Structure 1
Amino acid sequence: MTFTAENILLVGSVLIFSSILISKTGYRFGIPTLLLFLLVGMLFGSDGLGLQFNSASDAQFIGMMALSIILFTGGMDTRFQDIRPVLRQGILLSTAGVLITTVLTGLFIYYITAWYTGSPTLPMLTSLLLAATMSSTDSASVFSLLRSQKMNLKENLRPMLELESGSNDPMAYMLTIALIQVISSGSELHVGLIAKDLLVQFFVGGVVGYAFGRFAVWLINRINLSNSSLYPILLLSLVFATFTITDLLKGNGYLAVYITGILVGNSRLAFRKEINTFMDGLTWLFQIIMFLTLGLLVNPHEMLDIVVIGLLIGLFMIIVARPVSVFACLLPFRNLSGRARLFVSWVGLRGAVPIIFATYPVLAHVEGSHLLFNIVFFITLLSLIVQGMTIAKVARLLHLDLPQEKEGNEFGVELPDEIDTRLQDLTLTPDMLAGGNRLADMNIPKGTLVMLIKRGNEFLIPNGQMELHPGDKLLVMLENKKPAET
């Protein structure tokens, strides 16, 4: 069965519906949701139920759109105050870390394919190309795992990992494209030329991303639209414009949309609730579509021939290449414990990004590109199973996990950014009511307003004479970010 204009909506809806139902079951067993989406695609694909999808260019286009949205949303959720202390560590991991991983893994692939008779020998440049496609951690996988599990970590590790995964794709992308150009043209590898291209990509991506981020904030706050639902759609159009214009200017679009997201997320923004709700839903939709598409694209029976070589390369990356690159990059930062360095080494997740990057050699008709694609896909599965399913356990084993922080409030109420206040819910205890059980009897600080009271499933409008009971939940508004006191 192939995709046609008549059946694409039906087939697509069945795929998405099945993925969500299966992910609900898999989540209970600690299986990464994105891995399940990938497996559903494989189940419905050519070696499973027979859906035919073999367009690497379409998969690449879907991946480009999905990554733009994922990186932008990830940037929006990144707080300046969180990443500022780990900015240098994150930048080193996303640049030098990717380069070290590429070189170490490329050398290993070159020698292991020459030694192992069950796989064709890969030339040095092709070995480096294969390593480059897998050299970055996957932003979709890292963001999804850390946030879906509401994982909090000591030593400021979560923002460091999110910063690295959100900003290391440009380096891997540039290395991949540069190596493809060298292999396709038959020219020599000029390190200076690649370094120059990298600087141009980073500079243009940074400048355009910053400019569009500022423009997006100004436009959203100034324009007057007839319907609040149009604001997130307007912002989405700016995200795609950021990526496309950056790419036309020979910059890196992935870096640009991530920076735009950080600027938008850390600025006062009108209609933030509507925008966040829209972008979160869209991010999940495109993650599902992207992983399903990549699952459909692969032919699982072809991976049987590369299981051994794939295992050797995958285990080398997990056990050697990633830890060496992490320890080398974090060497100057003495405040990080050895346990923290080990954990960062373990969170070297591969996901959709390496598979998408592996489509570039296929479309460029690089010799052996289908072999490269199958190896990358296999190692992605290995990484999601071995690392993705054990991140929470490793954090607990290394004593780096923290209690989950509650996000928002139980009342589901949010305030506009323009109001310099915050909301907090407070559960009353008998000790709090010892001086009287009326709101007027409570010692409420000046500048604090009790907005709502929740008693069981009932919401009550407060007044000074209302009798309060232990277990009542109060929604209080505090000015100047002062903590509530009773």
Structure 2
Amino acid sequence: MNISLEAGLLVGSLLIFGSLLMSKAGYRLGIPTLFMFLLAGICFGKGGLGVEFDDASVAKNIGTIALCVILFSGGMDTKFKDIRPVLGPGIVLSTAGVLITTLLSGVFIYWISGWQQTEIGLSLMGSFLLAATISSTDSASVFNILRTQHIGLKYQLKPLLELESGSNDPMAYLLTIVFIQCILSGTMPLEDVARSFLMQFIIGSLGGYLLGKMSVRLINRVRLGNIELYPILTLCLIFIIYCITTLLGGNGFLAIYLAGLIVGNNSLFAKKDIGTFLNGLAWLFQVIMFLMLGLLVNPFDMLGVTVTALLVSMFLTLVARPVSVWICLGLFGKRFSYGCRFFVSWVGLRGAAPIIFATYPVIEHIDGAGQIFNIVFFVTLLSLLFQGISIPWMAKRFHLMIPENDSNLQPDK
């Protein structure tokens, strides 16, 4: 069916406008904004008002573009002086933590997949693929809740959580791609997996650092004659960094986040204008991304995986995530109290990134891909709703919250 430009523009604008109104209502009730965007997409979609959108490939591409801007903007807003004391724990959580979560969740999913109540019947590799897609915390969700709810935290927990959520998507992406390749090829030698991991991380890290440095020099040296053009120049550099790194075999998401850190922590011409532009654009992409993903799902299809999604969500929240956090932070001795570990475990929000990763099996026509997507979407909804709402309460419960304007102060334990 052909739709005129005016009709398409009107529908798109009304969708976003309606999402914003719903998010305002949700904010007053203490419901995370991003959950309301997802809910708006579901309400406007096939199971609601009937807006048709079922192209997983388009969703993946738009989601990739959105994640590039969100990760770069989050990197720019993260200060080295804040994350330097928690660099070690953050890196361990974003790599080993994601791997441990995937392994534990994969075994659990395979165990319950044969139950009569679940009826999903995933293979071992399929179970690990599902686990990989939901293994990382979502940067957009964590940044959004910690910043919009003005939550200040003791003991440098805020930079730790933002560093982890901003840097663990690459690990989840790698695991997702590896398990897809294993399923498609039937087997994949361990040495090939290790080589792929090393190449992705080495090239991604080098690409992010070098291209980030190059971006700083370019922005500071070029004379465009109009200050409003510098944010557009930066946006072009974001996509150049992602594409070059990816084409060279590296992890583009890792490169983008590192480049954002480099750019944001150097003296930069028109830095305030660039930051304001990217923050606004990141919000726009978050709205579009969550709304689009809500349109993509059919809520009636999720009814068939309700039991499985509930079991996976409970295991992920109460077992896999806490175990991975306790193992990773336990490597740093008594630096993190039990209360800190419980809280970090709880702030394992899922969001758009897991749903986007769940579109990969759909595009590759993996057996059970539809079930994987619906389970991931259901788990994300539960995570955003219950964990998102309870984060302020959990911070108060463990005596970790402080006024935001004092959040840089680090009281004695």
TM over 0.5: yes
Is 1:309 aligned with 2:308?
A: yes
Aligned to 2:257: 258
Amino acid at match of 2:24: K
Aligned to 1:299: 298
Mapped to 2, the partners of 1:90 and 1:404 lie a distance apart of: 21
Mapped to 2, the partners of 1:118 and 1:203 lie a distance apart of: 40
Mapped to 2, the partners of 1:3 and 1:110 lie a distance apart of: 45
Mapped to 2, the partners of 1:43 and 1:3 lie a distance apart of: 21
Amino acid at match of 2:105: T
Mapped to 2, the partners of 1:200 and 1:380 lie a distance apart of: 30
Amino acid at match of 2:404: Q
Preserved contact between residue 317 and residue 346 of structure 2 (Cα < 8 Å): yes
Amino acid at match of 1:46: K
Is 1:52 aligned with 2:52?
A: yes
Preserved contact between residue 41 and residue 296 of structure 1 (Cα < 8 Å): yes
Aligned to 2:29: 29
Aligned to 2:411: none
SS in 1 for 2:365: coil
- How large is the Cα RMSD of the aligned pairs? 1.4
Mapped to 1, the partners of 2:266 and 2:164 lie a distance apart of: 22
Question: Counterparts in 2 of 1:15-94, with a 5 A limit?
Answer: 15-94=15-94
Judging changes above 3 Å, is the alpha-carbon distance between structure 1 residues 394 and 233 closer, same or farther for their aligned structure 2 residues? same
Preserved contact between residue 3 and residue 53 of structure 1 (Cα < 8 Å): no
Aligned to 1:443: none
Q: Residue 8 of structure 1: CA displacement?
A: 2.2
Aligned to 2:224: 225
Mapped to 1, the partners of 2:306 and 2:292 lie a distance apart of: 22
Question: Counterparts in 2 of 1:459-470, with a 5 A limit?
Answer: none
Mapped to 2, the partners of 1:92 and 1:355 lie a distance apart of: 24
Structure (1/2) with the larger strand percentage: 1
Amino acid at match of 2:205: G
Amino acid at match of 1:331: G
Judging changes above 3 Å, is the alpha-carbon distance between structure 1 residues 9 and 281 closer, same or farther for their aligned structure 2 residues? same
Q: Residue 120 of structure 1: CA displacement?
A: 2.7
**Structure ranking higher on relative contact order (CA contacts 8 Å, 6+ apart):** 2
Is 1:115 aligned with 2:119?
A: no
Q: Residue 277 of structure 1: CA displacement?
A: 1.1
Preserved contact between residue 2 and residue 52 of structure 1 (Cα < 8 Å): no
Amino acid at match of 1:230: L
* CA displacement 1:137-172 (0-9 Å, x = unmatched): 001100111111121101100001001001101111
Mapped to 2, the partners of 1:365 and 1:2 lie a distance apart of: 28
Identity over aligned pairs, percent: 57
Mapped to 1, the partners of 2:241 and 2:379 lie a distance apart of: 32
Is 1:371 aligned with 2:371?
A: yes
Q: Residue 115 of structure 1: CA displacement?
A: 2.6
SS in 2 for 1:405: helix
Aligned to 2:95: 95
- Of 76-85 and 18-27, deviating more is 18-27
Instruction: Select the structure of larger CA radius of gyration.
Output: 1
Mapped to 2, the partners of 1:116 and 1:154 lie a distance apart of: 46
Mapped to 2, the partners of 1:136 and 1:338 lie a distance apart of: 22
* CA displacement 1:300-333 (0-9 Å, x = unmatched): 0000111111100100000000000000011121
Mapped to 2, the partners of 1:85 and 1:3 lie a distance apart of: 54
* CA displacement 1:93-139 (0-9 Å, x = unmatched): 00100000000000000011113444132111100000000000001
Aligned to 1:327: 326
Unpaired stretches in structure 1, ≥5 consecutive residues:
408-486
SS in 2 for 1:394: helix
Q: Residue 25 of structure 1: CA displacement?
A: 1.7
Aligned pairs, number: 406
Mapped to 1, the partners of 2:116 and 2:83 lie a distance apart of: 43
Mapped to 2, the partners of 1:24 and 1:130 lie a distance apart of: 33
Aligned to 1:238: 237
* CA displacement 1:277-307 (0-9 Å, x = unmatched): 1111100000000001000000000001111
TM-score normalised by structure 2 residue count: 0.96
Q: Residue 3 of structure 1: CA displacement?
A: 6.5
Question: Counterparts in 2 of 1:119-268, with a 5 A limit?
Answer: 119-187=119-187, 189-268=188-267
Mapped to 1, the partners of 2:139 and 2:231 lie a distance apart of: 22
Preserved contact between residue 152 and residue 406 of structure 2 (Cα < 8 Å): no
SS in 2 for 1:114: coil
Mapped to 1, the partners of 2:242 and 2:137 lie a distance apart of: 20
Aligned to 1:447: none
* CA displacement 1:217-266 (0-9 Å, x = unmatched): 11111111121100000000000000011110110000001001000100
Aligned to 1:462: none
Unpaired stretches in structure 2, ≥5 consecutive residues:
408-413
SS in 2 for 1:330: helix
TM-score normalised by structure 1 residue count: 0.82
Mapped to 2, the partners of 1:373 and 1:256 lie a distance apart of: 27
Preserved contact between residue 19 and residue 36 of structure 1 (Cα < 8 Å): yes
Mapped to 1, the partners of 2:80 and 2:14 lie a distance apart of: 40
